[in-house]
Amino acid sequence: MSRPEAKRLRSLFAVAGLPCLVGLAWLLIDRGPAPAVGAPVLTADAPDLLLRSGGGTTTIHAGDRAFSLSARSMGLPDRIRFADGDVPFEHPFGPEDGLGASHNADSCLGCHVGNGRSPAADGFVADAGPVLLLALADGSPHPDLGQQLQDRGTAAEGTLTVDWEEEPGEYPDGTPFSLRRPVVSVDGADVSGLATSLRAAPPVFGGGLLEAIDVADLRALADPDDTDGDGVHRDDPDVQAGAAWFTQIGCAACHRTEPYVTATVDVQALSDEVITPFTDLLLHDLGPGLADDLPQGVATGAEWRTPPLWGIGLTGVVGHEHYLHDGRARTLEEAILWHGGEAEGARSAFMALSAADRALVLRFLSAL
């Protein structure tokens, strides 16, 4: 038996006992009071979840360096390679290194703080990380400003200010909420008539594993004509119940809970791993609420790639807690409530849950 085959069998045997433990816990726990009249009833079983969503690469570290550590299964040569690559990622560049007179940050780490998210934009954008993408109406770069506003340096093209417009709402059970929408302005550069899109820097961990997923597996998931009509751990009883709701209301249609097996790549630690990143890595139309007018490649301004959810529960521990492409969502709950388009059914189903059951979904997400 080859080493990749043995590794895969070890991973699958490690997971095989989990459903039995989950099922036993599900039978023994007190599920609390019956749901209110009219509230949806949980009928789905909790999905079979891997204890380590990144396979052997997963770290159990839950501190502020959780996103910065190398794959735990790496041998010494690959860890040295990782450390060598981390040097330019963290290095603050200057003119002597080729940093231009206009730029957005002087290092990769300047935006991706702790290898996680950038600070959220709020008023005058003083911190590196939030950026403004630009394009002509057809999606092509502006002849002078290019594809992104350069808002720093001695020759900055302009300065960016982001204000927030609150939009109140209410759940069917009467619970109020408020969402916020960014209002962007630029001083020093004329962006009128251009397509613009505010972006916050996303976390950067796990990219090697996602690259190692066989493209054929992703193509098999694609359903551009919606032919299937779906519109699109941790053993803690609350987490398991939240995972079951996550499946039942339709979140897993895009943030899939089924594992992938990575292909064989040049980094042994990333090869033949059983992983669950909670994404189909496909583009989905999320409706007018999240749409901007900036197309990118084949994606329209309303289409977004399903982001991986693994590690999302550590977002606030590592650094800055905000979600979605522009950081508008201050909580995971707000991020769910912004979903529309192909995800409208899942959003509506989440809103119809009782407050206690909505809390279970959020408990599940916080455990990832």
Q: Could you tell me which residue, 249 or 225, shows the higher pLDDT? A: 249
Q: What proportions of the chain, in percent to the nearest 5, are helix, strand and coil?
A: 35, 15, 50
Cβ atoms of 78 and 267 within 8 Å: the answer is yes
- Residue 21: the pLDDT is 34
- Residue 228: the pLDDT is 57
235: confidence class by pLDDT, cuts 50, 70, 90: confident
26: confidence class by pLDDT, cuts 50, 70, 90: very low
What's the pLDDT tens digit per position in 143-153?
999 999 999 99
Pairing mode, if any, of strands 303-305 and 283-285? Answer: antiparallel
For Cα atoms 295, 167, 188, give the angle at the middle one, nearest 5 degrees: 55
Q: And the tokens for 65?
A: 């360096």
Percent residues over pLDDT 70 in the chain: 88
What's the pLDDT tens digit per position in 72-85?
999 999 999 999 99
231: confidence class by pLDDT, cuts 50, 70, 90: very low
Does the structure show a pLDDT above 80 at 105? yes
- Residue 24: the pLDDT is 33
Does the structure show a pLDDT above 90 at 254? yes
Cβ atoms of 259 and 282 within 8 Å: the answer is no
Q: How far apart are the first and last CA of the chain?
A: 33
- Residue 15: the pLDDT is 36
Domain segments of the chain as ranges:
3-90+205-366, 119-199
Measured from the Cβ of residue 192, the count of other Cβ atoms closer than 10 Å reads 7
- Residue 236: the pLDDT is 87
CA distance 196 to 135: 7
| Residues linked to residue 274 through DSSP beta bridges, in sequence order | 261
28: confidence class by pLDDT, cuts 50, 70, 90: very low
Does the structure show a pLDDT above 50 at 11? no
Alpha-carbon distances, residue 134 vs 105, 110, 191, 321 (angstroms)? 17, 21, 8, 25
Alpha-carbon distances, residue 38 vs 90, 344, 350, 353, 360 (angstroms)? 53, 20, 14, 9, 18
Average per-residue pLDDT in the chain?
88
CA distance 365 to 343: 17
Does the structure show a pLDDT above 80 at 294? yes
